């Protein structure tokens, strides 16, 4: 419950340093003037990478592009939302008003982990916004959905799309409904539904 | 049940009241319209073989016929959230609108805060505060599961709450669902009356007065403050509102509630309250086969 409830499937926080370094290298001298990320407060994402003031922080443009490029979620979906970072690479999506930076417990909902080799959307974000996705969506039968919701990994040979993070979905009450995030590698769909969100159905 | 004897003079059909308090409650859930419509949720429950009964006064409140309402597809997807029927009343009385700024002063574990967000179509700012860090984690977990993007969560004492951290300096509405002696939750929690004492009531009433005053101060003129508790004690209900009427610019407002209830009291023991307190609602367990609740609606005046 709470805190870092979302499992980090890649465990790749070690990659942060090298990613940060490459950003610095690209931006040359300017990068040395960037602030360090303050893990105690929420900062709004800059509109573009060029407007970045905090070292290593993803931009709004990059986040919206990621959701569109990977999952086909139309960019306009997020027109009325702001994106925020707290901690290293934990991105939140918020519909309300707040100044930046702001020191509070939570702002909207967590949506994405950046600052690791592969960005990873959260289960809760995918359940909320995954219905707008058209790419990297894998449809599960009821038994497979049940296994997925209880956190089980399962062999799945028929997927011929990209490897990596997918949106698992199933049909409920006449429409497809996203279950959460799966990691597809080596013919296996791994459920990365966090422990507190798993259910035996 | 002895502590409840003091209410014999004010409750109609007191024996039916006592009997209801001894019966356990069913499994009520609220449909979370941030995630799914009521219609789709009902179809999903039918597919799952879970029988339900819809509350007459609110189509979004369901009583589920299952021993494990958390192990349903509707719960996994966040279409439903376990929440007692009467506990869904205060946000409805608050009547928040999309785009508004709303403060839920004592928000954990988040059933009412997420209901407020849903009533606002998840548009606007709901500041969900609680002074207990442990309960904040439950609040955050529920908010994320239910997909609420309009919630900002803070961890402070509501009595001296500062808005300096935000980009606005007053709320349109506030819900004070105050910490209380919880007598009305006896059907859910048979130990609810174990720590009952006069001393507890008077200490909790002091906190309630402080929170309600701050909520009125933090709400704009013409804005709405709803005060609610899950207890029957007039010291924590009418007396708290009376204190606010005497010390802050506000008046008691009317509201419609399609649930059987009794009017607020205008007198208790040697105290008298403003006659407008009759507009408050006392909901007793035997009236609708629910838990107990008190709700008052206030309008902030100049």
Selecting among B106, B180, B182, B230, the annotated active-site residue is B230
**A116: which residues sit within 8 A by CB, 6+ positions away?**
A8, A10, A12, A13, A15, A16, A19, A89
Closest alpha carbon within chain A to B32: A128
**pLDDT for residue B183 is more than 80:** yes
Contacts of A107 in chain B (CB under 8 A): 152-153
- Picking from B122, B144, B167, the nearest residue to A97 by CB comes out as B167
**pLDDT for residue A60 is more than 70:** yes
Residue B149 forms contact with A (CB below 8 Å): yes
pLDDT attached to residue B49 = 95
Query: CA of A70: how far to CAs of A5, A6, A66, A158, A167, in Å?
Result: 23, 20, 6, 19, 10
| Interchain pair B125, A5: CB under 8 A | no
Place of tokens 């209801």: B20
Are the C-beta atoms of residues A201 and A146 closer than 8 Å to each other? yes
Higher pLDDT, A2 or A40: A40
Closest alpha carbon within chain B to A94: B149
Residue B168 forms contact with A (CB below 8 Å): yes
- Picking from B47, B153, B165, the nearest residue to A173 by CB comes out as B47
Are the C-beta atoms of residues B149 and B122 closer than 8 Å to each other? yes
B230 in catalytic set: yes
Contacts of B77 in chain A (CB under 8 A): 127, 172, 177, 179
Contacts of B43 in chain A (CB under 8 A): 173-174
Token pair for A152: 């089980």
Residue B166 forms contact with A (CB below 8 Å): yes
B72 to chain A, minimum CA–CA distance in Å?
Answer: 6
Average pLDDT over residues B233-257: 98
Local structure of A195: helix, strand or coil: helix
Are the C-beta atoms of residues B265 and B271 closer than 8 Å to each other? no
pLDDT attached to residue A159 = 84
Question: Number of Cβ pairs closer than 8 Å across A and B?
Answer: 116
Are the C-beta atoms of residues A125 and A66 closer than 8 Å to each other? no
Checking phi first, is residue A124 left (phi over 0); if not, alpha (psi -120 to 50) or beta? alpha
Tell me, yes or no, if the pTM score tops 0.95.
no
The DSSP bridge pattern shows strands B61-65 and B27-31 to be antiparallel
Token pair for B87: 């506990």
* Site from B76, B110, B121, B170 to mutate, A interface, most A CB atoms within 10 angstroms: B76
Mean pLDDT check: name the lowest of A25-29, A52-56, A81-85: A25-29
Cis peptide before B268 (omega within 30 of 0): no
| Interchain pair A2, B122: CB under 8 A | no
pLDDT attached to residue B130 = 98
* Average pLDDT value for chain A: 86
pLDDT attached to residue A161 = 84
| Interchain pair B144, A5: CB under 8 A | yes
B273 C-beta neighbours (distance < 10 Å), count:
22
What pLDDT digit, counting tens, does each position of A11-48 carry? Answer: 333 333 333 333 433 444 444 578 888 888 999 999 99
Contacts of B75 in chain A (CB under 8 A): 199
pLDDT attached to residue B70 = 86
Full 3-state SS string of chain B:
CHHHHHHCCCCCCHHHHHHHHHCCCCEEEEECCCCCCHHHHHHHHHHCCCEEEECCCCCCEEEEECCCCCCCHHHHCCCEEECCHHHHHHHHHHCCCCCCEEEECCCCCCHHHHHHHHHCCCCCEEEEECCCHHHHHHHHHHHHHCCCCCEEEECCCHHHCCCCCCCCCCEEEEEEECCCCCHHHCCCCCCCCCCCCHHHHHHHHHHHHHHHHHHHHCEEEEEEEEEEECCCCCCCCHHHHHHHHHHCCEEEECCCCCCCCEECCCEECCEECCHHHHHCEEECHHHHCCCCEEEEEEEECC
**pLDDT for residue A83 is more than 70:** yes
Checking phi first, is residue A116 left (phi over 0); if not, alpha (psi -120 to 50) or beta? beta
Closest alpha carbon within chain B to A195: B141
pLDDT attached to residue A23 = 40
What pLDDT digit, counting tens, does each position of B88-136 carry? Answer: 999 999 999 999 999 999 999 999 999 999 999 999 999 999 999 999 9
pLDDT attached to residue A124 = 97
Q: How far apart are CA A122 and CA A109, in angstroms?
A: 9
**pLDDT for residue B6 is more than 80:** yes
- Sign of the Cα pseudo-torsion (B105, B110, B116, B117, in order): positive
**pLDDT for residue A123 is more than 80:** yes
Is the predicted ipTM greater than 0.90, yes or no?
yes
pLDDT attached to residue A32 = 53
Q: How far apart are CA A139 and CA A192, in angstroms?
A: 16
Backbone φ, ψ for residue B117 (5° rounding): -60, -40
A122 to chain B, minimum CA–CA distance in Å?
Answer: 10
Residue A134 burial (C-beta neighbours within 10 Å; 0-12, 13-18, 19+)? exposed
pLDDT attached to residue B31 = 98
Percent of chain B whose pLDDT exceeds 70: 100
pLDDT attached to residue A13 = 34
pLDDT attached to residue A45 = 97
Are the C-beta atoms of residues A72 and A135 closer than 8 Å to each other? yes
What pLDDT digit, counting tens, does each position of B44-86 carry? Answer: 999 999 999 999 999 999 999 998 888 999 999 999 999 999 9
**B23: which residues sit within 8 A by CB, 6+ positions away?**
B187, B289
The DSSP bridge pattern shows strands B80-82 and B101-104 to be unpaired
Backbone φ, ψ for residue B31 (5° rounding): -75, 125
Average pLDDT over residues A121-148: 97
What pLDDT digit, counting tens, does each position of B127-182 carry? Answer: 999 999 999 999 999 999 999 999 999 999 999 999 999 999 999 999 999 999 99
Contacts of B154 in chain A (CB under 8 A): 104-105
Closest alpha carbon within chain B to A78: B149
Contacts of B152 in chain A (CB under 8 A): 94, 96, 98, 102, 104, 106-108
pLDDT attached to residue B2 = 87
**pLDDT for residue B276 is more than 50:** yes
Average pLDDT over residues A167-178: 97
| Interchain pair A97, B166: CB under 8 A | yes
Contacts of B122 in chain A (CB under 8 A): 95
DSSP state of A148: H
B235 to chain A, minimum CA–CA distance in Å?
Answer: 33
Average pLDDT over residues A161-166: 92
With a CB-CB cutoff of 8 Å, which residues 6-45 of chain B face chain A? 34-36, 40-41, 43-44
Closest alpha carbon within chain A to B78: A127
**pLDDT for residue B291 is more than 50:** yes
Higher pLDDT, B275 or A34: B275
- The candidate with the shortest Cα–Cα distance to A126, out of A197, A74, A178, is A178
Contacts of A197 in chain B (CB under 8 A): 76, 145
Q: How far apart are CA A2 and CA B2, in angstroms?
A: 38
Q: How far apart are CA B158 and CA B177, in angstroms?
A: 11
A28 to chain B, minimum CA–CA distance in Å?
Answer: 35
Full 3-state SS string of B102-154:
EEECCCCCCHHHHHHHHHCCCCCEEEEECCCHHHHHHHHHHHHHCCCCCEEEE
pLDDT attached to residue B75 = 97
Average pLDDT over residues B198-215: 96
Are the C-beta atoms of residues B285 and B291 closer than 8 Å to each other? yes
């Amino acid at each position: 419950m709470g805190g870092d409830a979302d499992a980090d499937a890649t465990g790749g926080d070690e990659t942060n340093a090298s990613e940060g370094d490459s950003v610095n290298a690209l931006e040359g001298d300017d990068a040395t003037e960037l602030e360090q990320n303050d893990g105690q407060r929420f900062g709004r994402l800059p509109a573009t990478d060029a407007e970045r003031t905090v070292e290593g922080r993803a931009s709004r443009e990059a986040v919206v592009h990621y959701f569109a490029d990977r999952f086909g979620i139309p960019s306009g979906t997020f027109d009325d939302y702001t994106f925020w970072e707290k901690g290293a690479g934990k991105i939140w999506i918020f519909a309300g008003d707040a100044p930046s930076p702001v020191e509070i417990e939570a702002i909207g909902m967590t949506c994405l982990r950046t600052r690791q080799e592969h960005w990873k959307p959260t289960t809760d974000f995918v359940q909320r916004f995954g219905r707008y996705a058209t790419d990297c969506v894998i449809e599960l039968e009821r038994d497979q959905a049940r296994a997925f919701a209880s956190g089980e990994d399962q062999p799945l040979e028929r997927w011929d799309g990209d490897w990596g993070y997918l949106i698992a979905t199933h049909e409920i009450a006449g429409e497809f409904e996203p279950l959460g995030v799966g990691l597809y590698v080596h013919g296996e769909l791994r459920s990365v539904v966090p422990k507190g969100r798993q259910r035996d159905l | 049940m002895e502590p409840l004897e003091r209410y014999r003079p004010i409750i109609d059909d007191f024996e039916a009241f006592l009997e209801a308090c001894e019966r356990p409650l069913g499994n009520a859930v609220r449909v979370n319209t941030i995630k799914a419509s009521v219609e789709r949720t009902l179809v999903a429950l039918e597919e799952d073989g879970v029988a339900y009964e819809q509350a007459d006064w609110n189509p979004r409140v369901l009583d589920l016929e299952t021993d494990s309402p958390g192990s349903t597809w509707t719960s996994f997807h966040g279409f439903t959230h376990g929440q007692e029927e009467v506990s869904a009343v205060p946000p409805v009385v608050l009547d928040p609108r999309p785009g508004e700024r709303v403060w839920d002063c004592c928000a954990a574990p988040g059933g009412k805060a997420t209901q407020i967000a849903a009533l606002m179509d998840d548009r606007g700012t709901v500041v969900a505060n609680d002074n207990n860090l442990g309960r904040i984690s439950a609040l955050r977990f529920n908010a994320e599961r239910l997909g609420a993007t309009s919630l900002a969560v803070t961890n402070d004492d509501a009595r001296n709450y500062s808005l300096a951290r935000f980009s606005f300096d007053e709320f349109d509405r506030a819900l004070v669902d105050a910490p209380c002696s919880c007598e009305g939750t006896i059907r859910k929690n048979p130990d609810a009356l174990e720590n009952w004492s006069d001393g507890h009531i008077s200490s909790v009433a002091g906190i309630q007065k402080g929170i309600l005053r701050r909520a009125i101060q933090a709400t704009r003129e013409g804005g709405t403050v709803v005060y609610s508790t899950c207890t029957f004690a007039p010291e924590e209900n009418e007396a708290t509102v009376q204190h606010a009427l005497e010390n802050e610019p506000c008046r008691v407002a009317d509201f419609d509630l399609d649930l059987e209830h009794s009017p607020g009291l205008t007198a208790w023991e040697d105290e008298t309250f403003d006659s407008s307190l009759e507009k408050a609602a006392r909901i007793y367990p035997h009236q609708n086969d629910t838990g107990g609740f008190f709700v008052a609606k206030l309008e902030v005046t100049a």
